[in-house]
């Protein structure tokens, strides 16, 4: 199954409070994977009040990866706007 996938998504909920490693504060967490045969890998990681999105892609499938990144930014803005409107609607109820 893994050798025939085109895209994979991973979503991992992180800690809601900042953590330390050997006395050093962790600023952000950005997991990724290397070697899978997917043309596009998307990892989402939440940490404190931040979401880190990590993309890995095959430039052969995405020669204009800048456009792909712009599309991701635009899509995330739409999601954020929709979530904000939904949250406002639920607060009034």
Domain definitions of the chain by residue range: 8-91
Beta strands in the chain (DSSP E): 7-12, 20-21, 24-25, 40-47, 50-57
CB 33 within 8 A of CB 56: yes
Taking residues 7-18, what's their average pLDDT? 72
pTM score of the predicted model: 0.62
**Between 53 and 35, where is the model more confident?**
53
Residue 26 has pLDDT above 70, yes or no: yes
Q: Residue 32: CB partners within 8 Å, gap ≥ 6?
A: 41, 43, 54, 56
């Amino acid at each position: 199954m893994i050798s025939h996938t085109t895209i994979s998504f991973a979503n991992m909920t992180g800690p809601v409070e900042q953590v330390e490693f050997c006395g050093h504060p962790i600023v952000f967490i950005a997991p990724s994977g290397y070697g899978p045969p997917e043309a596009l890998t998307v990892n989402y990681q939440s940490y404190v009040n931040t979401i880190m999105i990590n993309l890995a892609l095959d430039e052969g499938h995405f020669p204009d990866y800048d456009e792909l990144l712009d599309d991701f930014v635009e899509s995330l803005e739409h999601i954020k706007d929709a979530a904000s409107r939904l949250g406002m609607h639920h607060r009034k109820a």
